[in-house]
A and B are shown apart, each in its own frame.
Chain A
């Protein structure tokens, strides 16, 4: 947490930067936007220049993928300088109406999609789901994520995990509709005050539950809880880790075969930020019939899909080809039948790109849980 008296330079440790340029060199959005993160870190030393810098449109091109942070030899997070500049804009109220509405919706309804809180658990309809109660012991406490809860395209992720875990006899429960946004996008949009409030409220709320661990469905929630919630009592894992455990224990029984070539797209929040690379691959490789391919740019070098960093609410000024389109063309070159991801944002952006390129007939974009739901009999 920042303290009021810190200067911008102190807060982001700007003097720690040696201006080597590895951040900009690796930044995936440089191929389509005029974003030079190294230059921003350099120019932000001058406090008088901050406001001017904050008005530059390219600060909204950053997808918060963290490639710059992974590559920084000094262990800094250059992207957070851009977030700090966004904070200046957010505080002045001069944000796009779509961003303003999303933030207001998080404050009022606990989700950025302007959906009613009362509808947060509608995805559970017809399913046998245990709802967690404070103080009642549960092994795996699930945090569903706003996008998976409300967007019909990705609700299958939650629905399939319920079916699968019920069959596997796993002790789990989902949070009731009081569950609120983790704040991942609030943080990257730069709404510092709202984010601090979410961290405080969510920490207090989640700590009321007696869970052995919290399982997140979206890597955005996963990384946000792990990175920004120091007082959370329970360990947080991503669902692919839980399923990988079940796989090892022999609790996943495959039905039928999937004679397909699958390439796994590492979501930035799961891989680069969460350090989870092998679990999703093991799960996919174990589906009978599957041939698992690899992108050239995979694991730590995975190409961002541009779904994060608040980009669901801010369009880039660039009209050059979207990175998701590049990713899908790469998959096409590999002759992949399915592009699998383990993140709702990646699924949405990649599927859009797949349709844009006209590959609907021959290619499929799927969340891992969609595939497992079809091929696992626990």
Chain B
């Protein structure tokens, strides 16, 4: 008895289905992997936003040149958040519901990361973020990750190096002045500084904040000088950083160590504009040209970045934010490859458990999504002459004082003797 066979019509239908399935799979494999985000391309933080975007695009191009991720080319879908928190919920809702992106990452900075958090939490999305300060302390979201190396407690980690360097002076300083802008980052940095001051038993002789739109900082610096502090810790944004450093030079601030949390000197614009006025200032950086050998792949990245940045009118050095924007995407890439898909729970679990090899070194995350340990470098500027940007690309002007594994020299004090 011959075996029962499928009717020819059914056979053809199954064949067609199989072909359709195969085609669908092939089509899916060809579909780009869409990563969505908002980015500050206009508004006060657009300088950083554009620099971050260039770095992320370099990563995308590098990945696609190697065949993409899981056989899919990477494509970005992004919108300008105008540095405005109010635009952020709308942007991410559109990315997820209309553009149907596969993954989302954050734009630059705390003020645009925080308003995206409720959406991420509602949808259980893994959220890689770029330079948010302590955002997860309130949300406590287990799928949040942040790439800035401020450590598990950013408030403490931010100024740890500054106070370690200050206390290495002989004799140990006893008095401290702290000052910062009435804004989110300085408030956090000052809070951390106060914790260190308490731990170290220092006497606070000045602890004040100023409005961000202050024009002249010399009255503030004079008021600080009147208290004769041995340490002056400043937490400021770029225009205030320029104003305070200028005022310190004009007033002739006499103190042993000055700086700490000045945002701005990390970028070429302020480095070149302030030039020799930066000499003697101790301040945080995330990279220094003296560390080239410690980060062997970073030179290749910086060469690509600097070529594009020059054309697009953003930070021509790219030492501060761009390497970390690239590293953020590397973490995501490695997690997708390791888990073999886009399952948000598996991605988050893998990022929590693993160590990632990135252009900025080994990265491991703490339970709250911040770096497992702080790597905020404390550096001192010296030997800067004139305002030429090229000098900052070469070793010798930014000495790394902290942490010890990256140390390239010792602090020179007092500040006023090393100022020029």
A and B: interacting chains: no
Binding site for B on A (CB under 8 A): none
